[in-house]
Chains A and B, each alone.
Chain A
């Protein structure tokens, strides 16, 4: 990462807000002006001094991108440094994780063993990958950039681009069919989506991680599944420890562990989720804007703007095997669309 930073032609060390737009709404372009980075930047500069900056990193993990290494089926972990503003450098493959397939035997013990292997391999690969990153995130690293004094780069993990299955795997949470299926809050499955689900308490990072550490230590000694019931019933969590939580800032300070997940929108689009949402968007707008116009005009006008934005995205909707440089721009555009369509 430091090599990428030092050899980049365009580097942005500190993030800042872009200000307000013509309609008095806050402009956002990418991660360098996001709330996530700005709050981390405040914490980093308070801890490491004014000559420190957040060396942001994003990881991309998608188990669907499987390739054959000659010995194993593997899927890549890619990294990106948003501080580097060169258009040529985007995502770099920094590691591969072996794919653990389904068990041959159709027994619960075999399924549990395969599941444990899958989760353990992923977390240990992440830990080995992030080992030096974790140490640097706590102490910072001295960087000498041309034409500037010696600075302290403090690495922070500010994004994990994955689908929902990948998100639950990285965070060591149970799958989508569990009771607490939301990574951000503790809403129960039975009341989610209804008025009773509104205002559910936020998932406590420290409590869940402490329980997972205890559960993992217990599982290392005794793998019986009955010993994991407390984790399952209390948090819908697995008896594994998310290795990314060792990075400073995710379980300490601002505790943004559950805020750094960014869904791979193209992956979600391929699954049909966004398409289903888009089909229902006109009905939603007619109900939400009844009697009033949306910010960009009536419902029909807003829909025209949406279609225009989709047309401007153009080829970004087309699936391709290229590295996911589209994620940021597509996400920003979609967020802009959603903001522009909200009622004043």
Chain B
């Protein structure tokens, strides 16, 4: 059947048939190249040139523009092939129909709009993320309260000089409390026996603040480090 009636085989598109979704390109190509085509070189142009030689008019505009060339029999071969007006209706032939091409969502457009702005690429972190992974020095309730007071006293927090004064007061209070414990005979006996048993040094008997911040500047440095540590997590 294919050999004897090759032109009636419906499984094989007829010679020179162009799919609908390729016809607009073919039409444009044909419009630009139709003048250059001639019957002599048509055979050498191959199937694509033959296909483009059909006057395909899926829209009125293309038909109007190329209508004059479509009437040329030497370029048309089988004549003018037009898409019927109901060719895109549902239930007609399985030709590509016009599709609604949606853009991306509005939220994605807004995100892309702002990410295209220069400051989005020029901004950089004030504090590197690695700072946020360090453990906090203010890890006890007393130290956290000291930090809270240093950062919130008077609304804007203490200045660095005031922080040094503040931690010096805390250190003096701790030393005073330790001295009062040592002066108490019952407590001193307990401390002496326990020190003898455990072999602990005098540094270990310092208060929390003195152990964590041996100098006043270390407290100021730790407060700034804590601010940077928290700030690194906000971005």
State the A residues within 8 Å of B (CB).
3, 94-95, 123-124, 127-128, 131-132, 134, 138, 205-206, 209-210, 213, 216-217, 241-243, 245-248, 250-252, 321
CA distance A342 to B74 in the complex (A): 85
Chain B positions 91 through 115: 1 when the CB is less than 8 Å from some CB of chain A, otherwise 0: 0000000000000011111110111
Q: Known: A127-B114, A246-B111. Contact between A210 and B106, CB under 8 A?
A: yes
Task: Tell me whether B110 and A243 are in contact (CB under 8 A).
Answer: yes
Chain B positions 1 through 22: 1 when the CB is less than 8 Å from some CB of chain A, otherwise 0: 0000000000000000000000
Chain B residues, CB < 8 A from A251: 105-107, 110
Chain A residues, CB < 8 A from B113: 213, 216-217, 241
Nearest CB in chain B: distance from A121 CB, A: 11
Nearest CB in chain B: distance from A153 CB, A: 15
Set A3, A128, A248: member contacting B107, Cβ < 8 A: A248
Chain B residues, CB < 8 A from A245: 106-107, 110
Task: Tell me whether B233 and A246 are in contact (CB under 8 A).
Answer: no
Nearest CB in chain A: distance from B154 CB, A: 12
CA distance A134 to B123 in the complex (A): 17
Chain B positions 206 through 235: 1 when the CB is less than 8 Å from some CB of chain A, otherwise 0: 000000000000000000000000000111
Task: Tell me whether B114 and A247 are in contact (CB under 8 A).
Answer: no
Task: Tell me whether A209 and B106 are in contact (CB under 8 A).
Answer: yes
Mostly, the B contact residues are helix
With an 8 A cutoff between CB atoms, is B68 at the interface?
A: no
Q: Known: A127-B120, A128-B119, A131-B120. Contact between A241 and B107, CB under 8 A?
A: no
Identify the closest chain B residue to A3 (Cβ): B233
Identify the closest chain A residue to B156 (Cβ): A67
Nearest CB in chain A: distance from B108 CB, A: 8
With an 8 A cutoff between CB atoms, is B197 at the interface?
A: no
Nearest CB in chain A: distance from B149 CB, A: 16
Chain B positions 138 through 175: 1 when the CB is less than 8 Å from some CB of chain A, otherwise 0: 00000000000000000100000000000000000000
State the B residues within 8 Å of A (CB).
105-111, 113-115, 117, 119-120, 123, 155, 233-235
Q: Known: A213-B113, A216-B113, A217-B113. Contact between A246 and B107, CB under 8 A?
A: yes
Given contacts A205-B106, A242-B110, A246-B114, 12 further A-B contacts (CB under 8 A): A94-B234, A127-B114, A127-B117, A128-B120, A131-B115, A138-B107, A209-B106, A216-B113, A241-B114, A243-B114, A247-B107, A251-B110
6 CB contacts below 8 A, A to B, read A127-B120, A241-B114, A242-B110, A246-B108, A252-B107, A321-B155
Set B110, B119, B120, B234: member contacting A209, Cβ < 8 A: B110
Q: Known: A94-B234, A127-B120, A128-B123. Contact between A213 and B105, CB under 8 A?
A: no
Nearest CB in chain A: distance from B78 CB, A: 46
Nearest CB in chain B: distance from A144 CB, A: 16
Chain B residues, CB < 8 A from A252: 105-107
4 shortest interchain CB distances as A-B pairs: A246-B111, A246-B110, A127-B114, A251-B106
Identify the closest chain A residue to B110 (Cβ): A246
Nearest CB in chain B: distance from A173 CB, A: 15
Chain B residues, CB < 8 A from A205: 106
CA distance A246 to B109 in the complex (A): 8
Chain B residues, CB < 8 A from A127: 114, 117, 120
CA distance A217 to B117 in the complex (A): 11
CA distance A173 to B106 in the complex (A): 17
Chain B residues, CB < 8 A from A138: 107
CA distance A243 to B119 in the complex (A): 14
CA distance A95 to B123 in the complex (A): 14
Chain A residues, CB < 8 A from B105: 251-252
CA distance A124 to B114 in the complex (A): 8
Identify the closest chain B residue to A125 (Cβ): B119
Identify the closest chain B residue to A4 (Cβ): B233
CA distance A179 to B203 in the complex (A): 74
Nearest CB in chain B: distance from A343 CB, A: 40
Task: Tell me whether B111 and A134 are in contact (CB under 8 A).
Answer: yes
Task: Tell me whether B109 and A213 are in contact (CB under 8 A).
Answer: yes
Chain A residues, CB < 8 A from B111: 134, 246
Chain A residues, CB < 8 A from B117: 124, 127
Identify the closest chain B residue to A67 (Cβ): B156
CA distance A243 to B120 in the complex (A): 13
Nearest CB in chain A: distance from B234 CB, A: 6
Identify the closest chain B residue to A135 (Cβ): B111
Identify the closest chain B residue to A94 (Cβ): B234
Chain B residues, CB < 8 A from A131: 115, 120
CA distance A248 to B108 in the complex (A): 9
CA distance A179 to B54 in the complex (A): 57
